[in-house]
Structure formats: C-alpha cells, structure tokens
C-alpha cells in the first residue's frame, strides 16, 4: 500500500481539523497514512516519528520515509524550511506554490489562451502608477501582491481633480491627493502592492460577489471540480471574502436567482472554464505539478468572466461538508504521484 505522510507545522494533529479526515479517507482508500512535523524527521536513519489515528486517539509510531508527502502547511522557521527542501528533493510533494499575484498574472498573460479574462494589472511601485490608473478607470483596487482573505485592500474612487473616496475594510473616507499619496506611501513600507481597475460584480440585491472554482487532480492526474460556490460580501463591502463577514449558498440556488432562465448554461460554462483553465495553467510551469487550485472568478453585467485571483491552497466552506471529498481527491492524487514515480525509468 502507498505510504502517505501529511507534513504540517503544528505538533498536535488534534489542532489540525483536516488531519482526521485525511487519515480516515486514506484508510478507506487503501493507503497507509501518518501525520508529522519537520522536527520529527531523522535524516540519518531515513525515518520519521509520526502519528496515526487508531482506536480513537493519535498514536506515535516510527515510519520509513513515505512515498508521497501531502505538505499541508508552509514551513514557519528557517530550520523547518531547510527540512522541507531536503524532503522535497527526495520525495514527491503534492502541493507547490504558484507564486504571487503579479507573477501569476504575467504567466497567464504570456500564456495567451486565457489572457482575455485578465483584469489589467500594474505593480504599484510608485504613487504615480496608482494615479495614472485612477485617471484611466476612475475606480481602482489597490491591494497587496501577497496576502490572503482580502486584507490590506483599498478601494479608491476619483471624486474630482483633488478629492478621492477611499474604502478600507468598510471604513469610508474622503482624501485629498496629498493625503492619498501619504496613505499609499505608508502601505508601500509594509509590503508590495498592485493596482487594477475595480470590476463591479454585484448580485441583484447590490452585494458584491465572486465565484470560487475549486479544482483538484484525481487518481488519474486529471483535473476535476471539487466545488463551485458563490462568495457574497456584506452590503457596502468591496470584497466577498467569507472570513471578512461574507457568506455563501448553494450554486444552483444562486444561479437560478441571479441568471434565471440562463442559469443552467451559466453553470455548464463555469464547469468548462474551471477544467480548461486548470489544464492550461498547469502548462505554464516547468517541472511543477499542482494538486489543486482555487480560481476566483467574477461575472460582469455582460456575463463575461474575469479572473480575480488564483490560489494554490484553497479552503472550502464547512457548510458544504466537502472536507471528505477534498481529502479523497488528495489521497487519490498522492497515490497517482507514487505510482508515476515508481514507473519512471
């Protein structure tokens, strides 16, 4: 049976909710599974002190190096990072970083096939780039190049030549050009930013929304859809992140309400886009194999798709009870990686 190791920075698997789901699915799918942290790896004996769930509790046992590693979280120290690198050079990892928002944008743009779905984006290396974008589009989004869950995003709207409306996490203000320049400069000191025109995607009630297309590789290495669901922001919000007060609902229910008679065609188009884009996106990277992607998609008033963002460690809302489905795909893909490595000459 395939031996799969789940690598995580937390010492206690009881504090990692999905650890139990992956252990249970692996057992049901005919794979051996254990949980471990970087500090439990012995490179001299090529063994790992890991934990497996048996008889209602996590039990510590000694394991050989696994055939595949599901790297469920990033390293949180330099020493852990070195161990990740050591293991990745010897054992297939299921997950790989796709890079930051700007590098992902540039890859999709250079790939051409899906460049028509990109929102014009510029690295905001100075405030003049931001103001040039504002002059062109009147409404822009200024957001971190790296970041999650909608943090640090500014919505900026030009009111007149020297007045700008700014919305940050629901806090509204009206700033002069010099005041806005100061705010932008302060943001630069924290991290890198990009700027792009604000694309309005609203449901009939006026709430902003986007759609998360969660795709995974299966046991044959093919892309399959795990889930597609809307993320709807609070009224007045500029983002639809569930972690920032947004909410979700079932896809069919949402599409029927918002697209009426064309809802089924819209669903099929979303499903087709999810698979075709994922196949294409994977070709944009050399010698890297991705296990899952979270594609954030907007639909404008003309029903044109726009790619907001692509994520390589997408979560799934607990209301859908999809943890086992996601775990099953990951375990199947891990077994596929082990098999393909064994078959290599």
**Residue 141 sits in the same domain as residue 251:** no
**Residue 149 sits in the same domain as residue 283:** no
**Residue 51 sits in the same domain as residue 127:** no
Query: How far apart are alpha carbons 324 and 79 in whole angstroms?
Result: 32
**Residue 193 sits in the same domain as residue 229:** no
Helices 177-190 and 127-137, interaxial angle, to 10°? Answer: 130
**Residue 156 sits in the same domain as residue 218:** no
Domain assignment present for 229: yes
Domain assignment present for 297: yes
* Domain end point (choices 197, 223, 238): 197
Quick one: pLDDT at residue 41? 98
Tell me the per-residue pLDDT of 100-158, one tens digit each, with 9 for 90 and over: 999 999 999 999 999 999 999 999 988 899 999 999 999 999 999 987 655 688 999 99
**Residue 38 sits in the same domain as residue 105:** no
Domain assignment present for 143: yes
**Residue 24 sits in the same domain as residue 139:** no
Indicate the pTM of the whole model.
0.91
Query: How far apart are alpha carbons 240 and 121 in whole angstroms?
Result: 20
* Domain end point (choices 197, 231, 254): 197
Domain assignment present for 249: yes
Quick one: pLDDT at residue 160? 87
**Residue 29 sits in the same domain as residue 82:** yes
Quick one: pLDDT at residue 56? 92
Domain assignment present for 181: yes
Domain assignment present for 14: yes
**Residue 153 sits in the same domain as residue 77:** no
Looking at residue 258, which CATH number applies to its domain?
A: 3.30.470.20
* Domain end point (choices 131, 165, 197): 197
Instruction: Give φ, ψ of 91 to 5 degrees.
Output: -130, 135
Quick one: pLDDT at residue 148? 63
Tell me the per-residue pLDDT of 169-206, one tens digit each, with 9 for 90 and over: 778 899 999 999 999 988 888 889 999 999 878 888 88
Q: Which residues of the chain have pLDDT under 50?
A: none
Quick one: pLDDT at residue 320? 66
Parent domain of 186:
122-197
**Residue 16 sits in the same domain as residue 142:** no
Q: How many domains does the chain have?
A: 3
325-340 residues labelled b (16+ CB within 10 A) or e (exposed) = bbbbbbbbbbbbbbee
**Residue 250 sits in the same domain as residue 110:** yes
Domain assignment present for 21: yes
Domain assignment present for 340: no
Quick one: pLDDT at residue 150? 59
**Residue 211 sits in the same domain as residue 295:** yes
């Amino acid at each position: 049976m395939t031996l799969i190791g789940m690598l995580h920075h937390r010492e206690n698997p009881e504090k990692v909710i999905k650890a139990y789901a992956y252990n249970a699915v692996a057992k049901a799918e005919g794979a051996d599974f254990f949980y471990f942290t970087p500090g439990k790896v012995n490179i001299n004996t090529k063994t790992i002190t890991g934990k497996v769930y048996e008889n209602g509790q996590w039990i510590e046992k000694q394991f050989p190096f696994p055939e595949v590693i599901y790297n469920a979280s990033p390293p949180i120290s330099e020493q852990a990072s070195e161990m990740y690198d050591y293991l990745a050079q010897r054992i297939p990892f299921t997950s790989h970083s796709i890079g930051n928002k700007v590098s992902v944008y540039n890859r999709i743009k250079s790939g051409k096939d899906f460049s028509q779905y990109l929102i014009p984006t510029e690295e905001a290396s100075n405030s003049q780039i931001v103001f040039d974008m504002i002059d062109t589009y009147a409404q822009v989004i200024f957001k971190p190049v790296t970041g999650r869950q909608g943090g640090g995003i500014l919505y900026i709207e030009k009111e007149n030549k020297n007045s700008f409306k700014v919305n940050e996490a629901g806090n509204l203000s009206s700033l002069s050009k010099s005041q806005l320049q100061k705010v932008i400069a302060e943001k630069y000191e924290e991290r890198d930013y990009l700027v792009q025109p604000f694309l309005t995607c609203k449901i009939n009630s006026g709430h902003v929304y986007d759609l998360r297309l969660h795709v995974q590789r299966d046991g044959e290495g093919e892309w399959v859809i795990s889930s597609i669901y809307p993320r709807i922001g609070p009224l007045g919000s500029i983002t639809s992140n569930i972690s920032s007060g947004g909410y979700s609902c079932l896809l069919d229910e949402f599409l029927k309400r918002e697209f009426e008679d064309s809802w089924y065609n819209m669903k099929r188009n979303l499903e087709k886009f999810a698979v075709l884009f994922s196949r294409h996106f994977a070709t944009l990277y050399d010698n890297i194999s991705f296990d899952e992607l979270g594609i954030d998609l907007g639909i404008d008033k003309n029903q044109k798709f726009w790619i907001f963002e692509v994520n390589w460690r997408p979560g799934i809302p607990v209301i859908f009870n999809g943890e086992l489905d996601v775990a099953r795909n990951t375990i199947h893909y891990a077994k596929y990686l082990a098999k393909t490595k064994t078959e290599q000459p």
